[in-house]
Structure 1
Amino acid sequence: MFLLYADESGTPGGADQEHFVLAGFSVFERSAHWLSLELDKIAAIFNPQDSHAVELHGAPMLAGRGFWRKFDKELRLEAIKQALSLIDGRKFRIFASVVRKGAISPNDPVHYTFQQIVTRFDHFLARQHVHFNNTQRGLILFDKSSKEAPIQALAKAFKLDGHDWGRLRNMAEVPAFIDSEATRLIQLADLIAYALFRYYEKKDGQFFDLIERKFDYFGGVQHGLHTVV
């Protein structure tokens, strides 16, 4: 089974931010544990006695808020970059949808971006079957958030009634929601989404540059990144 860990960055409503991002990465189930251990090593830099007490989240790390205030900015930035550098484009694939909210209005940014990444992940799974004789199901894991109820409703509708381009055919189940405190891989999805948000909202490419070539890609075409900006 392939797992897709996903999170959002930016707010779907309000005029204070132009962009909304939903993004994540796929990992084969047997590789998830190894990746989590590597992220634990980065967290341990900040609390060697209890690395599990450290949550890696892009916005507070960059701004130096709360727990992160006591650490030098360069150390915080380097930790974000080290985590993003763990995404090996041969093993892991990034899927993301970035929208400028005004460009898709009156469409709901959550609905719009969710449809994009879930169908692209579904197509990735189909491609594994057709081109690589690797038949696998997929499961999407989201961070618990205020969007849990609408995304659950969307996922159920997509599975039963289809989406704008057809039906989902390779999902093992509707998305699950887990606390980011419980898994490093949701934290890594947060860092990916934040890297995209910083790039499109703030024109800050220091994190995006590390993942730019790691989106799902096949046949000379980049499938993993969808933008309406």
Structure 2
Amino acid sequence: MARRFDLFLQRCHTKHNDPQRGLMLFDESSTEQRLQTLAREFKHKGHSYGKTHNYAEVPVFLNSRATRLIQLADLVAYSIFRHFEHGDSTYWDVIKDHFDEEGGVRHGFVLCDAAHPIPTPFFNKKSSPKRAFL
């Protein structure tokens, strides 16, 4: 997942001259320390596909009650689960065209891509992030 997000940010920079840095947000978890250690290793030592270059910070762990982005990630995961496990496309149909895609393969949900803006009750125009990759 870290590599896919890094590639997404790299493509944004290359194709759209948009040199943003990424920030990974996670729901609080007992694996927090291990994930932060892995992120540092990916940045400084690399992993099997190379090093990550586009992160602003190590992963941040937040209580899902404290931020709407974690809640949004839960909703996206739920819609994917309902679609693929139970054939219920009610929520999937709203988000299905908002995934990062490369070579015909979907990788991650993009909340605010300029090419595919998605209406959401979580943000208004003033507070909406430019992009969110879930």
Report the counterpart of residue 143 of structure 1 in structure 2. Answer: 27
Compare CA radii of gyration and give the structure with the larger one: 1
Whole-angstrom distance in 2 between the partners of 1:153 and 1:198: 33
- Root-mean-square deviation (Å): 2.0
Equivalent pair of 1:120/1:223 in contact (CA under 8 Å)? no
Displacement after TM superposition at 1:223 (Å): 4.3
Displacement after TM superposition at 1:183 (Å): 1.0
Amino acid at match of 2:107: G
**Regions of 4+ moved over 6 Å:** none
Equivalent pair of 1:138/1:172 in contact (CA under 8 Å)? yes
Amino acid at match of 1:208: W
Amino acid at match of 1:207: Y
1:221 maps onto 2:109 in alignment: no
Amino acid at match of 2:68: R
1:67-111 CA deviation, whole Å, 9 max, x = no partner? xxxxxxxxxxxxxxxxxxxxxxxxxxxxxxxxxxxxxxxxxxxxx
Report the counterpart of residue 4 of structure 2 in structure 1. Answer: 120
Change (3 A) 1:206 1:170: same
Report the counterpart of residue 167 of structure 1 in structure 2. Answer: 51
Whole-angstrom distance in 2 between the partners of 1:194 and 1:147: 22
Whole-angstrom distance in 2 between the partners of 1:144 and 1:131: 34
**Sequence identity (%):** 50
- 1:123-134 aligned at under 5 Å gives the runs 123-134=7-18
- Secondary structure (helix, strand or coil) at the match of 2:99 reads coil
- Secondary structure (helix, strand or coil) at the match of 1:205 reads coil
More helix by share: 1
Change (3 A) 1:154 1:222: same
Whole-angstrom distance in 1 between the partners of 2:101 and 2:32: 29
- Secondary structure (helix, strand or coil) at the match of 1:142 reads strand
Which stretches in structure 1 are left out of the alignment for 5+ residues? Answer: 1-116
More strand by share: 1
- Secondary structure (helix, strand or coil) at the match of 1:181 reads coil
Report the counterpart of residue 18 of structure 1 in structure 2. Answer: none
Instruction: Give the number of equivalent residue pairs.
Output: 108
1:101-125 CA deviation, whole Å, 9 max, x = no partner? xxxxxxxxxxxxxxxx221111111
Whole-angstrom distance in 1 between the partners of 2:96 and 2:11: 22
Report the counterpart of residue 37 of structure 2 in structure 1. Answer: 153
Q: TM-score, normalised by structure 1?
A: 0.43
| Of 197-206 and 128-137, the range deviating more from structure 2 | 197-206
Q: TM-score, normalised by structure 2?
A: 0.69
Report the counterpart of residue 61 of structure 1 in structure 2. Answer: none
Which stretches in structure 2 are left out of the alignment for 5+ residues? Answer: 109-134
Of structures 1 and 2, the one scoring higher in RCO (CA 8 A, sep 6+) is 1
- 1:66-105 aligned at under 5 Å gives the runs none
Whole-angstrom distance in 2 between the partners of 1:146 and 1:200: 28
Report the counterpart of residue 190 of structure 1 in structure 2. Answer: 74
